Structure 1
Amino acid sequence: MEHMETSTYFESYENLEIHRLMLEDSERNKSYRNAILNNKDEFCGKVVLDVGAGSGILSVFCAQAGAKTVYAVEASNVYKIAEEVAKENSFENVIKVIHCKVEQLDLPEKVDIIVSEWMGFYLLHEAMLDSVIVARDKFLKQDGLMFPESATLYSAPCSLPSMYDYWEDVQGVSMTYLGAKLRENASKTPVTDIVFPESLLSDPEVVLWIDLNEVTLEELDTIKLRHVAVANKTGKYQGICLWFTCNFPSKFSEPVILSTEPESPPSHWKQTTIVLPTNIQVEESTPMAYDLLLRRSSVDKRKYTIEVTMLDPSEVEHPEYCLCHLTKCILVRAMLEKYEKDDMERSENK
């Protein structure tokens, strides 16, 4: 069964529409291009491994930056396109396209740099991160570089007007019954869509931070978060939004960050939303609490299930300096502010 799922995964990347979608994502391409070409000193004369090379654009960036050899590894039949792209850009003597899975790869040498666009929806879903870790452990030199070098997954409560408000008046017709059915379906599978910045109801919380130089496969099996969020505006609490950022090495340049947050230009990843079954009106300073669990599928290791458990904010522990309107948090804030004021007065009197 797992073999069939893996085969389906690679076959899906033979659909050229997927590659068109990624290549038309200017933010994705620009981030990788800047991260690589702004660090030519790191790439010049070096050996690079491109994990999941696809159509080969990242391999070409590496060759343009002066890499001596780029091993472009692609498991799907799109490797043929990568070969033609290398020739089209006159880098066929630099880019060595290899048609196999990274797990079955055999190279004649260790590499200085690993480059990969491995991220899936909400960072982990249908991602190639496992393959990147395998490649790192097997082929990367001890002082080698990872592009990107870290990634962060975020979570925040949000409004989802396209799932709720829209169906109340569709050109003068109430369609709330259909809207409820759509939300019922959406509650079973996270929705990939654009979430506008004004729809976020609180500051985000970090769900997961990954150091690509050290993360292990086992650490990615289960990810847990308890988020006690505080509404920074009045709004409708209708879902939970997930997005990610990736950071690239920046020894010789300004840091490059690929961000899929709602405030950034849209990317093909968009944002991932978990639709709540109820529409809750919240006022500014209202606390919202939930447990978020991401668990790797036992059938297909590239997929994750998401579980959300809604919690009573009055029954869970809040952050030390929580800004919500619950009495216990107001008292703690007042006490902390008094301590800070006393400390400042003692410092001034010294």
Structure 2
Amino acid sequence: MELDSEQYFSSYEDLEVHKLMLEDGPRTLAYKNAILNNKAYFKDKVVMDVGCGTGILSIFCAQAGAKKVFAVEASNLANLAKEIVKENKFENIIEVIHSRVEDVVLPNYMKVDAIVSEWMGFYLLHEGMLDSVLFARDRFLKDGGEIFPESAAIYIAPCSVPSLYNNWDNLHGVSMSSFARELRASKGSKPEILTIKPEDLLGAEVALCWVNLREDEAHDLNAYSIEHVVGASKNGYYQGLCIWFECIFPKLPDAAGDGHTVLDTSPQSPATHWKQTVIVLPQQQEVEEGEPIAFQLDMTRADPTSRRYNLQMTMLDPEAVEHPLPCSCHMTKCILAKAFMMQHAEHAINQKNNENDTNVLQDEEINDDDDE
């Protein structure tokens, strides 16, 4: 069911939602590290926190040396954020603004040096507020200003889903496969939010899309689509598509450490409250290592102003679609293509090495015979 704006913002007044986010270590620490490792950048800067919630990101910015933080929150949680700011003695730096960012007017129409926001939803964009962040960027960010995070990507990979398949084969000595089949059928109208173990992935991931917060416009987010083939990485049961995302923070000069912060929600990374999004197949397919798995995934905004997306997965015939180069599947054409590419790469390396050898300075031959 689609939430209207009032329902959407009021849903964020539920303290359990914020408890879940605050206790999400990878999520909160990624922002803390990205901000506090860049104290050299934040010192004496003006910052806007879009959708500040409890205000913790605003406080990180103040701790990093920002001289002014505009913490914008549309829900009534803004009142609690004000108390938390005061509790941490940053009320002279952080100004909590109880408003939608689209309605905010800053003093003297000033611009900010940086925007921070935790805007991500399930599979990155579902019920997220990226449109509002892009609006804030266009209206409030100085030329050359920074956005935390500055880019994001959505990845997909075939997977097994034991919790909806295997775990029902023997329930306290009773086979419940029929129940599991009906359970999967009842979930066909929406994706599942599950934790997928790394060993349950059946192939290499592929990027569905990249989001560039510096340049993308709201209409660029309306639809994404991919048609892909991947070779199964092992023998197993193909039971669904696993979807996750990562967010990349700016790598700035004079940052502490290597300055590179990434929030990764993949099965290989520490669990987050986003978990992974899974499109569950109604019937599993047994696959062998190298067997091609072909699919199309379309992600489309429900309507131009919606925070909700529709996901549609189509299973494809591997014989009828174009394979990536190189392809990891065991079809003859892909094996030959991979061998040709490796030969070509080896030839190029050898040619480069030969060129380097001919460029080595040779000692001039010296005639050491005695002069006659």
Provide the TM-score with structure 1 as the length reference. 0.96
1:262 positional shift:
0.5
Within 5 Å, give how 1:9-158 maps onto structure 2. 9-108=8-107, 109-158=110-159
**Alignment match of 1:290 (pick from 288, 295, 309):** 295
Letter in 1 for 2:280: V
Structure 2, unaligned runs of 5 or more: 356-372
Q: Aligned to 2:250, what secondary structure does the other structure show?
A: coil
Q: In structure 2, what residue type is equivalent to 1:324?
A: C
Whether the 8 Å CA contact 1:5–1:300 is kept in 2: the answer is no
1:200 match:
201
CA contact (8 A) 1:6 1:300 kept: no
Q: Distance in 2 between matches of 1:243 and 1:68?
A: 36
Matches within 5 A, 1:234-313: 234-251=235-252, 252-253=255-256, 254=258, 255-298=260-303, 301-313=306-318
CA distance in 2, matches of 1:345, 1:39: 44
Structure 1 residue 81: Cα displacement:
0.8
Query: 2:330: which partner in 1?
Result: 325
Q: Deviations over 1:112-144 (max 9, x none)?
A: 000000000000000010000000000000010
Given the alignment of the two structures, is residue 8 of structure 1 paired with residue 13 of structure 2, yes or no? no
Give the distance between the partners of 1:164 and 1:207, measured in 2 at CA.
26
Give the letter for the 1:112 counterpart.
Answer: D
CA RMSD in angstroms comes to 1.6
Task: Identify the residue that residue 367 of structure 2 maps to in structure 1.
Answer: none
Q: Is this contact kept in 2: 1:164–1:179, CA < 8 A?
A: yes
> What's the secondary structure of 2:314's corresponding residue?
strand
Seen in structure 2, the aligned counterparts of structure 1 residues 348 and 71 have a Cα distance that, compared at 3 Å, is closer
In structure 1, distance between residues paired with 2:145 and 2:195: 36
Residue 174 of structure 1 and its aligned partner are, at CA, apart by 1.1
SS at match of 1:292: strand
1: CA distance, partners of 2:10 / 2:351: 68
Amino acid in structure 2 at the alignment position of 1:101: R
SS of 2:203's partner is coil
2:222–2:304 contact (8 Å) kept in structure 1: no
CA distance in structure 2 between the partners assigned to 1:343 and 1:106 by the alignment: 58
Match of 1:335 in 2: 340
**Alignment partners' CA distance in 2, 1:192 and 1:226:** 23
Which residue identity does 1:94 align to in structure 2?
I
SS of equivalent to 1:210: strand
TM-score of the aligned structures, taking structure 2 as reference length? 0.91
Q: Distance in 1 between matches of 2:119 and 2:350?
A: 53
Matched residues in 2 for 1:305 and 1:216: separation? 20
1:175 matches 2:180: no
2:287 corresponds to which letter in structure 1? V
User: SS where residue 224 of structure 1 aligns?
Assistant: strand
Q: Larger C-alpha radius of gyration, 1 or 2? A: 2
Instruction: Identify which range, 179-188 or 262-271, moves more after superposition.
Output: 179-188
The question of whether the paired residues in 1 share the 8 Å contact of 2:46 and 2:112 is answered with: yes
Distance change >3 Å, CA 163–CA 140, structure 1 → 2: same
Q: How does 1:213-252 map to 2 (within 5 A)?
A: 213-251=214-252, 252=255
Contact 2:230 2:328 (C-alpha < 8 Å) held by counterparts = no
Distance in 2 of aligned mates of 1:126 and 1:273: 16
Corresponding letter in the other structure for 1:327: T
Distance 1:54 1:92 in 2: 16
Identity of aligned residues (%): 52
Cα shift at 1:339: 3.4
Q: CA deviation at 1:337?
A: 3.4
Structure 1 CA distance for aligned equivalents of residues 293 and 239 of structure 2: 11
Looking at structure 1, the residues matched to 164 and 349 of structure 2 have their Cα atoms a distance apart, in angstroms, of 50
For each residue in 1:318-349, what CA deviation from the matched residue of structure 2 results, as whole angstroms up to 9, or x when unmatched? 11221211121122223333434444555566
Q: How much does 1:234 deviate?
A: 1.0
Q: Is the 8 A contact 1:314 1:326 kept in 2?
A: no
- The Cα shift of 1:283 comes to 0.8
| AA aligned opposite 1:228 | V
In structure 1, distance between residues paired with 2:343 and 2:36: 51
Residues 205-255 of structure 1, C-alpha deviation per residue, up to 9 Å, x if partnerless?
001111111111111001111121111111110000001111111212420
- Aligned pairs, how many? 349
Aligned equivalents of 1:339, 1:130: Cα separation in 2: 45
